[in-house]
């Protein structure tokens, strides 16, 4: 599947649901009912998370009004074409993002998700996080069962041999030290390709790229297969801080709801998925770091 926005996703995939499902009533906001009737009895919980979770940790999204790094938005730099044209500029962007993440911490939403996973595991039950985020804040909070749909800022991929491995070096290479400032007037470093991050496997020495899914690229098939398996087997699904406009992840919650499985959305505002959560749907409006801990508390 290709990472796409709703505006250019093939029409045949756009909410191909029965009419009566499309016209479903607004989901419930009864938190006590959610906890009593669904969370308490759940055996296999899937939690879908998006940028809204990390935004509460102060992580910039580079989307929407004001979402710029220098004069660029993410879609200007997060493409194979941009990397081919100017790998130095793209690495400056990702170096900045990596360094910013080192100053951020998981927030109460991340902590609540990790805590419910540990609690369920102790009871022989399963929790899996399927995230669109690339910041590893779920992992730092203590979550263990994580599927990263879009990869990770802290993994690299060799453009020559294909090797993928974790990398938490700061800076990722000496040449990038002191570069990557987000100011619109900042001067591009224009580093030679030979000074950019290089593969350390044997004598490869190939140019490294961030191991993230760029716009126009296919999502990892193994990760997608694992995500679909979890979604097919879960008996409760939470949607937390995601805009539900990036496909294929935008289809996940409505597809689960079509199976008659309860789906609860936690968000600052309604999304395209909100009214497609079925008869057992819930919507809780507000900051994820405030409402999610209440919903998942023991």
- Count of residues making up the chain: 298
On whether the CB atoms of residues 287 and 34 are closer than 8 A, the answer is no
Residue 92 CA: distances (Å) to CA of 73, 174, 177, 186: 14, 12, 9, 11
Residue ranges in the chain modelled with pLDDT below 50 = 1-23
**Separation of alpha carbons 97 and 192, rounded Å:** 21
| Contact between residue 54 and residue 135 where contact means Cβ atoms under 8 Å apart | yes
Distance CA(136)–CA(147), nearest Å, equals: 11
pLDDT computed for residue 47 by the predictor: 98
Structure tokens at 210: 């961030």
In this predicted structure, what is the pLDDT of residue 6?
Answer: 36
Q: Count CB neighbours of 84 within 10 A.
A: 10
CA 181 – CA 165 distance, rounded (Å) = 26
Identify the pLDDT of residue 93.
97
Q: Are 43 and 237 in contact (CB under 8 A)?
A: no
Say how far apart CA 281 and CA 222 lie, in whole Å.
Answer: 29
CA 33 to chain centre: 28
- What pLDDT is recorded for position 5? 38
How far is CA 76 from its chain centroid?
19
Residue 57's pLDDT is 96
Distance between terminal CA atoms of the chain? 37
Tokens describing residue 27: 């989901």
Q: Which of 44, 150, 179, 228 is catalytic?
A: 150
pLDDT at 279 (0 to 100)? 86
Residue 66 has a pLDDT of 62
Instruction: Look at residue 25 in the predicted model and tell me its pLDDT.
Output: 61
Specify the DSSP class assigned to residue 163. Answer: -
Q: Mark whether 150 is an active-site residue.
A: yes
Structure tokens at 74: 């993410």
- What is the reported pTM? 0.90
Grouping H, G, I as helix, E, B as strand and the rest as coil, residue 164 is strand
CA distance 209 to 215: 14
């Amino acid at each position: 599947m290709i990472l796409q926005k709703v505006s250019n996703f093939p029409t045949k995939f756009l909410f191909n649901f029965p009419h009566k499902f499309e016209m479903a009533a607004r989901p419930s906001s009864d938190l006590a009912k959610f906890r009593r009737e669904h969370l308490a009895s759940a055996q296999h919980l899937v939690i879908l998370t998006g940028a809204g979770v990390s935004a509460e940790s102060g992580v910039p999204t580079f989307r929407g009004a004001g979402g710029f790094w220098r004069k660029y938005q993410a879609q200007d730099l997060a493409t194979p074409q941009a990397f081919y044209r100017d790998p130095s500029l793209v690495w400056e962007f990702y170096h900045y993002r990596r360094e910013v993440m080192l100053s951020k911490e998981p927030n109460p939403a991340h902590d609540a998700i990790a805590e419910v996973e540990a609690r369920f595991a102790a009871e022989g039950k399963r929790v899996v996080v399927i995230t669109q985020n690339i910041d590893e804040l779920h992992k730092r909070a203590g979550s263990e069962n994580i599927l990263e749909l879009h990869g990770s800022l802290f993994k690299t991929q060799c453009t020559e041999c294909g090797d993928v491995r974790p990398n938490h070096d700061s800076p990722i290479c000496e040449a990038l030290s002191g570069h990557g400032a987000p100011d619109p007037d900042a001067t591009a470093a224009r580093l030679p390709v030979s000074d950019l991050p290089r593969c350390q496997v044997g004598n490869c020495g190939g140019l490294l790229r961030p191991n993230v899914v760029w716009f126009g690229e296919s999502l990892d098939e193994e990760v997608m297969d694992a995500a679909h398996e979890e979604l097919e087997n879960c008996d409760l699904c939470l949607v937390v801080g995601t805009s539900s406009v990036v496909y294929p992840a935008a289809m996940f919650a409505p597809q689960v709801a079509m199976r008659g499985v309860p789906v609860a959305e936690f968000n600052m505002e309604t999304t395209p998925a909100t009214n497609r959560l079925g008869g057992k749907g819930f919507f809780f409006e507000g900051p994820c770091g405030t409402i999610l801990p209440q919903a998942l508390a023991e």
